Amino acid sequence: MDKNRDEYIPALKYSWLTSLYDPILRWTLRESTFKRQLVKQARIGRGDRVLDLGCGTATLSLLVKRAHPEAEVVGLDGDIKVLQIARAKAAHAGLEITLDHGMAFELPYPDNYFDCVLSSLLFHHLTLENKNRTLKEGFRVLRPRGEFHIADWGKAQNNFMRIAFLLVQMLDGFKTTADNVQGLLPELFRTAGFEAVQEASRYMTIVGTLSLYWARKPQ
């Protein structure tokens, strides 16, 4: 048995909560603000190929497609149940995106295929080993000078944010979330070979500090 698959954490940890994911996120996380900012930050071009890693219910993938109808948008998630919700949302919106089942740390795409990789709230679900493997895979599938944009839990701005984040840690586990709150993601980007790594913005939410990062694959 592959221990990396055993450590899989669904959207709200327990499968039976998955159908509540969208309303919970909307009410607690300023979801539309930070996802719109992530899309803006990515400066997606006409006809770009965009991958949304750990796409969940595809809110971000659909936001990209709506803002950039000419982009080819692919969402990937390891959970069949959440992908069913994503497919229903895409059909309801009448937007054409590809939704693939797969693991973020072993991507079913060729080298240098995407112009842009996005990821929202995936990394705190991954062990340190899988964070590193996922960044390496993101690097591999990006074209030279392609960019990786991540929204995820970051280093707490103050003690209040640190305490608030304990709620997320109690739900998703201390093991996978510790790297985030220690502010390790930029260093992991560099280790995977990315350049121009930066934390572009931060949001205070009722459950902790959410950071938007980006980095570029060198030429």
Ligand X SMILES: C[S@@+](CC[C@H](N)C(=O)[O-])C[C@H]1O[C@@H](n2cnc3c(N)ncnc32)[C@H](O)[C@@H]1O
Contact window for ligand X (CB under 6 A) among 109-117, 119-127, 137-145, 193-201: 119-127
Contacts of 139 (CB under 8 A, 6+ apart): 148, 192, 193, 194, 217
Cβ pair 209, 154 in contact under 8 A: yes
By beta-carbon proximity to ligand X, the closer residue of 88 and 144 is 88
Contact window for ligand X (CB under 6 A) among 41-49, 53-61, 157-165, 184-192: 53-61
141 binds ligand X (CB under 6 A): no
Distance CA 105, CA 136 (A): 8
By beta-carbon proximity to ligand X, the closer residue of 145 and 175 is 175
104 binds ligand X (CB under 6 A): yes
The helix or strand, by DSSP H or E, that contains position 54, with its residue range, turns out to be none
82 binds ligand X (CB under 6 A): yes
Give the pairing type, strands 114-120 and 49-53. parallel
Cα separation of the two ends of the chain: 38
85 binds ligand X (CB under 6 A): no
By beta-carbon proximity to ligand X, the closer residue of 9 and 117 is 9
The residue whose two tokens read 């109690």 is: 170
122 binds ligand X (CB under 6 A): yes
Q: What own/partner pairs with CB < 8 Å and gap ≥ 24 does 18-25 have? A: 18/79, 18/81, 18/82, 18/85, 19/85, 21/56, 21/57, 21/82, 21/85, 22/57, 22/59, 22/85, 25/59
What's the min distance (Å) between Cβ of 131 and ligand X? 10
Binders of ligand X in range 147-206 (CB under 6 A): none
Size of the site for ligand X (CB under 6 A): 22
73 binds ligand X (CB under 6 A): no
By beta-carbon proximity to ligand X, the closer residue of 71 and 103 is 103
Q: How far is Cα of residue 193 from the mean position of the Cα atoms in its chain? A: 19
What's the min distance (Å) between Cβ of 79 and ligand X? 3
59 binds ligand X (CB under 6 A): yes
Q: Cβ atoms within 10 A of the Cβ of 4, count?
A: 15
By beta-carbon proximity to ligand X, the closer residue of 56 and 146 is 56
208 binds ligand X (CB under 6 A): no
Residues contributing to the site for ligand X (CB under 6 A):
8-11, 25, 54-56, 59-60, 77-79, 82, 103-105, 120-122, 125-126
